[in-house]
Structure 1
Amino acid sequence: MKSILRGATALAGIAFAGSALAADLPRRAAPPPVFAPVPVFTWTGFYAGFNAGYGFGTQDDRAPTVIGVPAGPTAASSLFVTGAGAPAAGVVAFSNRNSNDGFVGGGQIGYNYQFTPGSGVVIGVEADAQYVDFGRNRNRFAAATVPGGGVQAGSLVFNPNGISGLDYFGTVRGRLGYAFDRTLVYGTGGFAYGSGGGRQFGLPNSSTDSFQTGWAAGGGIEYALPTDSFLNFFRSSAVTLKVEGLYVNLDQGNRNNGAFAVTPNGTVLTTAVGRRQDTEFAVVRAGLNYKFGSY
């Protein structure tokens, strides 16, 4: 019995000593947490989107356009007739004072490249196409004079120097800016084109399209929303919002005007009044882009 007690006591002593030694051993350190860096935003990548805004004419064109009109060989082919119905020569003057403003809307596509992610210089190229709805009331004339007569009833008169009812315009522009993380401030400029026509430069109910080319310049500010924005319907790498101002000058060239009047029997009257005015206007618009590519 004594031998059993001695053995138990010895075992207890060994166990106690082992636990004390284990307590003195250095503990194994826990592994450090894995560091997941927050991705740095970059503007590099393709994008596409749409925009809408307001456009208005900018040129100083309030001086009237005055045109002398010769008499036609017959009363039916003459714009002006005397009180007796005989053909006559006269003068027609356009006031050039009607409104040249209205809605502008369309879409754009482009590509940006940012040299240093985060904050840094951004270069890019953008093309856009726009529907416009302004400048459609410039064809009205202020006065027509002829001694002892006037304009034949049913005649149509068009302003050869007025801004046409522009149907659309577009641009292909370079962009240069600086990004402050998700905010981009930029300038832009490049090629512009546009077209409008119809009754202003030719026969009624016909398409006398007046395609024009020129240039555009402006600037804006753009901000990138978080990737999980509720506007990100297409699961793009970012959704960006922008506000932009653009000046557009479409050069009419040195062409003379086309038909500017049609008599009641359909005779087209033409005259040479020289170079038409450029189509100049400014656009202020807001846009939304979906960016695809690097985050």
Structure 2
Amino acid sequence: MKRIGIMLSAILSLTSAAQAADLGWNSGASPMYSPTPASGWSGFYAGVSGGYGWGTQTVTPAPGAQATNNTGGWSLGGQAGYNMDMGGFILGAEGDLQWTNVNFSEAVPGGTFKTGIDFYGTLRGRAGMSFGQVMPYVTGGIAAGRGSASYDNGVVTSQSATHMGWTAGVGLEAQATSNISIKAEYLYVDLGTQTYSGLPAPIGNIDASQRFSVVRAGLNYKF
């Protein structure tokens, strides 16, 4: 009887160990959090993205009067970057370039005045956590863009300027396959203020600021 008891105890112990292994209890990780393996997010990637931007634009004419107007328009472009997966905590860097028509236009004496951003780019750091195949992240860095201001009175006179500033935002990226991921992202972009000179009357010389938010979706391919 003593030997039978020892054998039964051993069988029960092996069965319990096997069940624990099947359930992942001996892995040391909680079943509520299962990070992607270190190779899951690591590597270079590139992709395309597009969305909509809206914001405010402050224009100061030469006489000193200031006007703040709402802007809006689409954006379309691409991005490339690199992720380093440290066991579920991801650090990376990403650069993107977007063509856009986030602008404002209004009727003025003798014609139409229009100002906005023609394209912009950002260079950002990213930090996130992987939950299975999903990674929420925060991002921030520098931004630059080309703005334009024009007056159309039958003949279009246009001036352009380079804006420099910063950007910050949040996003969510999900792996569809081992190489393809999709993302949704929000960015706030502050491109500061630049002077546009040489526009004909009644516009003259102006200072224009460019600040806007962007919501966009993207598709990435990891190499």
Q: Same fold (TM over 0.5)?
A: yes
Equivalences for 1:82-93 in 2 at 5 Å?
Answer: none
Alignment of 1:202-281 (within 5 A): 205-227=156-178, 238-252=179-193, 255=195, 257-262=196-201, 270=204, 276-281=207-212
Tell me the residue number matched to 2:220: 289
Distance 1:206 1:289 in 2: 39
Query: Against the structure 1 CA distance between its residues 110 and 68, is the aligned structure 2 distance closer, same or farther, given a 3 Å change threshold?
Result: closer
SS in 1 for 2:159: coil
Alignment of 1:1-295 (within 5 A): 40=37, 42-58=40-56, 68=63, 96-97=68-69, 99-116=70-87, 120-137=88-105, 139-141=106-108, 155=110, 158=113, 164-199=115-150, 205-227=156-178, 238-252=179-193, 255=195, 257-262=196-201, 270=204, 276-292=207-223
Q: What is the identity, as a one-letter code, of the residue corresponding to 2:150?
A: R
Give the drift of 1:66.
7.0
SS at match of 2:107: coil
Cα deviation per residue 1:40-69 (whole Å; 9 max; x = unaligned)?
45200000000011100146x5xx967649
Does the Cα contact within 8 Å between 1:156 and 1:262 map onto a contact in 2? no
How many pairs align?
A: 185
Q: Name the aligned partner's letter for residue 278 of structure 1.
A: S
Say if 2:72 and 2:104, in contact at 8 Å, map to a contact too. no
Q: Structure 2: where are the runs of 5+ without partners?
A: 1-35
Change (3 A) 1:157 1:109: same
- Length-normalised TM-score, structure 1: 0.55
Q: Which amino acid aligns with 2:119?
A: Y
Aligned residues of 1:193 and 1:212 also touching (Cα < 8 A): yes
SS in 1 for 2:150: helix
> Contact 1:158–1:260 (CA<8 Å) still a contact in 2?
no
1:151-210 deviation line (CA, Å, top 9, x unaligned): 6xxx45758xxxx3211000000001111121111000001000121515xxx6455221
The question of whether the paired residues in 1 share the 8 Å contact of 2:182 and 2:218 is answered with yes
Sequence identity of aligned pairs in percent? 36
Cα distance in 1 between the residues matched to 2:180 and 2:212 = 29
- Are 1:106 and 1:129, in contact at CA under 8 Å, matched by a contact in 2? yes
Instruction: Select the structure of larger CA radius of gyration.
Output: 1
Query: Alpha carbons of 1:207 and 1:67: their partners in 2 closer, same or farther (altered >3 Å)?
Result: closer
| Residues 1:66 and 1:277: Cα distance change in structure 2 (over 3 Å) | closer
Q: 1 or 2, which has the higher strand percentage? A: 2
State the shift of 1:211 in Å. 0.6
TM-score normalised by L of structure 2: 0.71
Change (3 A) 1:279 1:198: closer
> Could you tell me whether the CA contact under 8 Å between 2:93 and 2:123 is conserved in 1?
yes
Aligned equivalent of 2:8: none
Alignment check: 8 A CA contact 1:157 1:260 kept = no
AA paired with 2:45?
Answer: Y
